[in-house]
């Protein structure tokens, strides 16, 4: 491909995104790993185009998957020929990994749709984003390469409506708050994330809009969170840092033993909660292929629904 003269002065990644069917994120990934050649040399995303340069972009070849499909039922909120939105249950891992070589969402998706593209690595066909194992709720999956590229671009531009519900210990004195911090790996516990100082070079900007939806007796609350970025464990870290740890979170909240002062039905609901009380309720976006406005609402699973009923009753 020869770069046009009217691209002079523009960044290479911007130009290639405009001239190809790839998202900017995909172009930047290819540039980072040296796959794109500019005048027969590895190119950089920040290169300023002069016009007339020759660029080679390799065709992306999907690797053959070595995963056996499994007939696991899926709660499908929306589906067409290019993508689907599922209501992932708590306890299900999204993609295969060490210690999780069966029973994942990917295994179920491959049974439901055998032609899913192997994008983001061969173990993650069609996966555009993820939810933690012990979080439930709406998750979108691409069924075609074009849909994956389009959805990836929406996520890269933070042009996705993502609303979560969380049931927490404590109640904030505010109704709405924009939480904006740097989040990165915990300096001492590598399996955890943490809020880092603003000037830290090890973190990435994380933005969450938090709303106090309801305050219950005995020091509990239900929060509605809107994600503007998608950092690992973002909501859990932000709420814990705000002294609002999510009920059932064994990583970012101190252990909690419901006392005898709590009503029996609430103690029962808390004891039966075997995961963090975090649910991705709303997922909305503009369909990358049809242009249709998609708005999915994932019903509450029984464990957090029972918890919410018990909290409202006390």
Which residues are known catalytic residues? Answer: 132
Closest CA to 75 of 84, 67, 66, 64: 84
Q: Are 184 and 136 in contact (CB under 8 A)?
A: no
- Cα dihedral sign, 131-133-134-139: positive
Look at residue 257 and give its three-state secondary structure.
Answer: coil
Closest CA to 281 of 297, 301, 302, 304: 297
Q: Are 152 and 23 in contact (CB under 8 A)?
A: yes
Q: Which residues contact 170 (CB under 8 A, 6 or more apart)?
A: 219, 220, 221, 243, 244, 245
């Amino acid at each position: 491909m020869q770069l046009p003269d009217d691209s002079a002065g523009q960044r290479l990644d911007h130009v290639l995104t405009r001239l190809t069917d790839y998202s900017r994120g995909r172009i930047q990934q290819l540039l980072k790993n040296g796959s794109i050649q500019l005048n027969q040399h590895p190119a950089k995303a920040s290169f300023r185009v002069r016009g007339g340069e020759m660029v080679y972009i390799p065709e992306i070849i999907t690797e053959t998957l070595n995963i056996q499909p499994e007939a696991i039922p899926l709660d499908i909120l929306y589906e067409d020929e290019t993508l689907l939105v599922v209501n992932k249950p708590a306890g299900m891992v999204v993609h295969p990994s060490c210690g999780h070589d069966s029973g994942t969402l990917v295994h179920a998706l491959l049974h439901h749709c055998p032609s899913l593209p192997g994008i983001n690595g061969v173990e993650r066909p069609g996966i555009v984003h993820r939810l933690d194992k012990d979080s439930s709720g709406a998750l979108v999956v691409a069924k075609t390469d074009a849909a994956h590229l389009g959805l990836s671009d929406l996520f890269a531009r933070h042009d996705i409506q993502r609303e979560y519900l969380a049931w927490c210990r404590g109640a904030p004195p505010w109704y709405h708050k924009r939480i904006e911090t740097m989040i990165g790996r915990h300096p001492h516990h590598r399996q955890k994330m943490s809020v880092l100082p603003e000037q830290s070079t090890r973190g990435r900007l994380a933005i969450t809009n938090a709303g106090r939806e309801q305050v219950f007796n005995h020091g509990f609350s239900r929060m509605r969170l809107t994600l503007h970025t998608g950092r690992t464990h973002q909501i859990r870290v932000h709420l814990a840092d705000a002294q609002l740890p999510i009920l059932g979170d064994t990583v970012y909240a101190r252990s909690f033993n419901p006392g005898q002062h709590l009503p029996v039905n609430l103690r029962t609901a808390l004891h039966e909660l075997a995961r963090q009380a975090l649910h991705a309720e709303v997922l909305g976006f503009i369909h990358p292929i049809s242009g249709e406005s998609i708005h999915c609402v994932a019903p509450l699973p029984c464990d957090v629904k029972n918890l919410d009923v018990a909290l409202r009753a006390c």
